[in-house]
């Protein structure tokens, strides 16, 4: 009876240790994408990846890209100018920004609504020569962060000539304003 339990325990221990062995062996970058590139396959010698004379997987030089394998895509640069993160006693937090990238400018407001009720947000982005873009966003009741964003428009002029303002209000006839957040808003003590 004891031998049977010991055998079962040893089998379970081996099964449970296999993922740990794979994690310790680490990834085999040279074999990625072939379905056999995981660290466990390499550690057990089951990978068809090239090997060095010591038996270790051959790895490309630092910064080198293997032929036929694309490197990481270069992400376009996006600059932002944000106002301070503001909060209201009604359970609303927001920060509003103007973003500029690839010849486009747009407004974005990050928010978190813990008020317990759905709200409306209006995000307005103002640019040079009286250009204005406005969007209305529904702000769900919940603690999850969200964002409201205007469409991207072709930039016209200096990025500093743009500003954005988000207004959060109760969606009823009164439309009680709970918070106004701007890309150039002053925080407490900023006068």
The structure tokens listed for 105 are 């400018």
The proportion of the chain whose per-residue pLDDT surpasses 70, expressed as a percent, equals 59
Highest mean pLDDT: which range of 23-32, 41-50, 150-159, 179-188: 150-159
The structure tokens listed for 110 are 């990050």
The structure tokens listed for 100 are 């500029």
- Write down the H helix ranges in 28-176: 39-43
148 in Cβ contact with 137 (< 8 Å)? yes
pLDDT in tens, 58-117: 555 555 555 566 667 777 788 999 999 999 998 999 999 999 999 999 999 999 999 999
pLDDT at 158: 87
Q: Token match 């439309």: residue?
A: 175
The structure tokens listed for 154 are 């072709």
The pTM (predicted TM-score) of the whole model is 0.58
pLDDT at 55: 52
CA 3 vs. chain centroid, Å, equals 53
């Amino acid at each position: 009876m004891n031998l049977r339990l010991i055998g079962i325990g040893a089998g379970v221990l081996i099964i449970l240790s296999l993922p740990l062995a794979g994690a310790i062996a680490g990834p085999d970058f040279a074999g990625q994408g072939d379905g056999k590139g995981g660290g466990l396959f390499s550690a057990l010698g089951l990978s068809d990846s090239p090997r060095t004379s010591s038996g270790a997987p051959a790895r490309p030089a630092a910064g080198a890209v293997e032929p036929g394998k694309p490197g990481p895509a270069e992400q376009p640069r996006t600059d932002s100018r944000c106002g301070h993160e503001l909060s209201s006693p009604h359970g609303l937090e927001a920060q509003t920004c103007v973003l500029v990238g690839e010849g486009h400018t747009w407004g974005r407001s990050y928010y978190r609504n813990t008020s317990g009720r759905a709200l409306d947000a209006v995000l307005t982005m103002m640019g040079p020569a009286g250009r204005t873009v406005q969007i209305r966003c529904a702000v769900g009741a919940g603690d999850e962060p969200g964002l409201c964003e205007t469409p991207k428009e072709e930039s016209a002029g200096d990025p500093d000539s743009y500003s954005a303002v988000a207004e959060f209000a109760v969606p009823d006839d009164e439309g009680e304003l709970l918070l106004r957040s701007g890309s150039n808003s002053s925080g407490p003590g900023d006068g």
